[in-house]
Amino acid sequence: MLLSNLLSVLLVAASIGHCSAFSTPAPRTPKHQKKELSRRDIFRTVVSASLAAPLLPLANAQALDAVIDGDEELIDVYFGCGCFWHVQHEFVQAEKKILKRDDLSITARAGYAGGLGSSQQVCYHNAKNVGDYGSLGHAEVVALRIPASSIEIFAQEYFKLFDDKGNRPDQSGDRGSEYRSLIGIPGGSKSPYANKIISASQAVGDKLDFAVGKGNDKDVRKLSFIMDTAQFPFFVGEQYHQFHDGFNLNENYPSSYNGLAAKLATAGKLGENTCPNGTFGIGVLGL
């Protein structure tokens, strides 16, 4: 019965005229845009429909697993640039390329940060309306645990996500404070890492302006908020959001990537879940 209801929802979703505008799955060199129904649009429709459906137990992972990179100091950072699905993929690739990490050492996690509700449970939109990240003022981000010496090169990877005009890859589709651009570093704008962020931006075309994040900030094009990770901590997202295909319908990643969520969970490295599941607990059209 549940599967039958889900298929009905998907048929309705496919007929909806609301679209996001993207040209290709690669956001770094967009040449033109055309309107098409995005994977994110379908996901939103199914989440909304799930409010009347039974809930399955799935929840929010609360902590990243420690990774040791020799004797070098590791720091926790996060980056927000619209929908976290594509962003996580890019940072997983960066961890493998820059730090030579294997699958079980990957620290990139999709989640939420930047809101004022840091002492509360933070979850994706769900039928029980528990800890809704948007209501708490959080944005979608990807967190990593990296050597302090590598923050500038990882920040460069972040700035490469934006086009030459400072637009996010999903700028025309995902809008609002849940998708705002932000960077979380220890100490925020007053830390020595802030200068590294500025240098990285200049090295990749100086596409963005910066502001000190106050929490619950607005979505402003070409502007990234600098957040203090102590004041605005990161909350790991639900397992079904981890290592997800991108927001475009044609942005499919290999099964070896999609399978990282289960692989890390089996190894006890993904985290413990406590949030209600807002999407039936099963994939939607391979999502």
- Residue-range domain boundaries for the chain: 2-52, 74-266
pLDDT at residue 130, rounded to an integer: 87
pLDDT at residue 53, rounded to an integer: 36
* pLDDT > 70 fraction of the chain, expressed in percent and rounded: 69
pLDDT tens-digit readout, 223-262? 999 999 999 999 999 999 999 998 888 889 999 999 999 9
Pick 74-266's CATH classification: 3.40.1000, 3.30.70, 3.30.1060, 3.10.530: 3.30.1060
Mean pLDDT in the chain?
Answer: 78
Nearest to 112 by CA among 86, 88, 143, 91: 143
- 8 falls in which pLDDT band (50, 70, 90)? very low
pLDDT at residue 31, rounded to an integer: 41
pLDDT over 90 (residue 265): yes
pLDDT tens-digit readout, 54-70? 333 333 333 344 444 55
b or e along 239-278 (b: 16 or more beta carbons within 10 Å of the residue's beta carbon)? bbbbbbbbbbbebebeeebbebbebbbeeebbbebbbbbb
For β-strands 209-212 and 181-185, DSSP reports them as unpaired
The answer to whether residues 224 and 210 touch, using CB atoms and an 8 Å cutoff, is yes
The answer to whether residues 273 and 238 touch, using CB atoms and an 8 Å cutoff, is yes
Query: Residue 15: how many CB atoms within 10 A of its CB?
Result: 8
pLDDT over 60 (residue 144): yes
